[in-house]
């Protein structure tokens, strides 16, 4: 697990006056508002949206509110989730189109069916571990720029109208075509040969699966690997330092609800 974002009351929040604010009126909310939320571990992106939808309705006395997120984060990932409300939901596609940054930790010597820690690990047969950071870096040029990537079977993508992870849980094998994605930068932050652990910094375009990147790197390194931890550090212009912690945002909305009902 990676550390959380900086304190929301730091200089970044001062530089962006809308950060760490909520709309002052129902009309301002419905006109369009974007929250950058630090998604907690083990929450789905839908969980966050659903919780916020309920809290916003109560805080502003609304029967309904349009809300959606710009780019899914897996339950085992944390970090920046962009949530669009009201007329800002029309911007979801454009918000998703921006580059995304990640910090990822890979465990070497093992693979998993889901390419992350959601499913049991399996020892990689005949694993030969890289001896140095330089040996790891030698494979990285093949994974920068436009690459062809095969999404994981355990994903929400659909093939022939059927969701892949549902087929995977039934034990069905599916041929998943590769697709082009863009990896703008890929760097090694640390390598612990004793623990078999590698930490990466990644900036990539829409549709890139970091789990698939971890899996494919492991094969190129000759030792296997899976994604052990992931944190999204930015979505387009929305940075970690912009993000509300979910408990703090819910608390602020609860305070507004209490003030509204007391009037």
Site of tokens 């200089």: 11
Over residues 32-60, the pLDDT tens digits come to 999 999 999 999 999 999 999 999 999 99
Across the range 69-90, mean pLDDT stands at 95
**Mean pLDDT value across residues 226-231:** 98
Q: What is the rounded distance in angstroms from the CA atom of residue 108 to the CA atom of residue 237?
A: 32
Which pLDDT score is estimated for 7? 46
Say what the pLDDT of residue 136 is: 96
DSSP string, 137-163: HTTGGGGSEEEEEPPPSSSS-EETTEE
To the nearest whole percent, how much of the chain has pLDDT over 90?
A: 75
Residue ranges in 152-239 assigned as alpha helix (H) = 164-169, 210-221
Mean pLDDT is lowest, of 58-72, 130-144, 168-182, for 168-182
Verify whether residue 74 is a known catalytic residue: yes
| pLDDT tens digits, 178-219 | 899 999 999 999 999 999 999 999 999 999 999 999 999 999
The domain limits of the chain are 11-98+237-262, 100-235
Confidence class for position 164, pLDDT limits 50, 70, 90: low
**Architecture of the domain delimited by 100-235:** 2-Layer Sandwich (3.30)
Query: How crowded is residue 33: how many other Cβ atoms within 10 Å of its Cβ?
Result: 19
CATH number of the 11-98+237-262 domain: 3.30.70
Residue 176: which pLDDT band, with cuts at 50, 70 and 90?
A: confident
Catalytic pick from 38, 47, 74, 116? 74
11-98+237-262 against 100-235: fold identical: no
Give the pLDDT score at 2.
61
Q: What is the number of alpha carbons within 13 Å of residue 93 lying toward its C-beta? A: 1
| Mean pLDDT value of segment 109-121 | 94
């Amino acid at each position: 697990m990676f550390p959380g974002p900086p304190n929301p009351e730091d200089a970044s929040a001062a530089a962006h006056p809308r950060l760490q604010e909520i709309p002052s009126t129902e009309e301002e909310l419905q006109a369009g508002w974007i929250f950058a939320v630090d998604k907690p571990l083990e929450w789905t992106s839908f969980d966050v949206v659903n919780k916020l939808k309920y809290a916003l309705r109560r805080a502003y006395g609304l029967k309904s509110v349009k809300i959606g997120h710009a780019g899914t984060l897996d339950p085992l990932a944390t970090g920046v989730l962009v949530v669009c409300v009201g007329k800002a939901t029309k911007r979801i596609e454009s918000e998703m189109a921006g580059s995304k940054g990640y910090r990822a930790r890979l465990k070497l010597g093992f693979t998993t069916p889901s390419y992350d820690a959601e499913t049991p690990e399996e020892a990689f047969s005949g694993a030969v571990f890289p001896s140095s950071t330089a040996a790891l870096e030698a494979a990285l040029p093949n994974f920068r720029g436009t690459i062809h990537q095969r999404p994981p079977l355990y994903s929400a993508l659909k093939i022939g109208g059927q969701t892949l992870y549902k087929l995977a849980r039934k034990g069905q094998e599916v041929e998943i075509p590769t697709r082009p994605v863009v990896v703008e930068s890929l760097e090694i932050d640390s390598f612990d040969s004793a623990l078999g652990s590698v930490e990466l910094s990644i900036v990539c375009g829409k549709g890139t699966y970091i789990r698939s990147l971890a899996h494919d790197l492991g094969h190129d390194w000759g030792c296997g690997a899976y994604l052990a931890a992931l944190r999204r550090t930015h979505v387009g212009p929305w940075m970690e330092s912009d993000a509300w912690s979910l408990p703090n945002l819910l608390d602020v909305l609860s305070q507004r609800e209490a003030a509204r009902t007391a009037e």
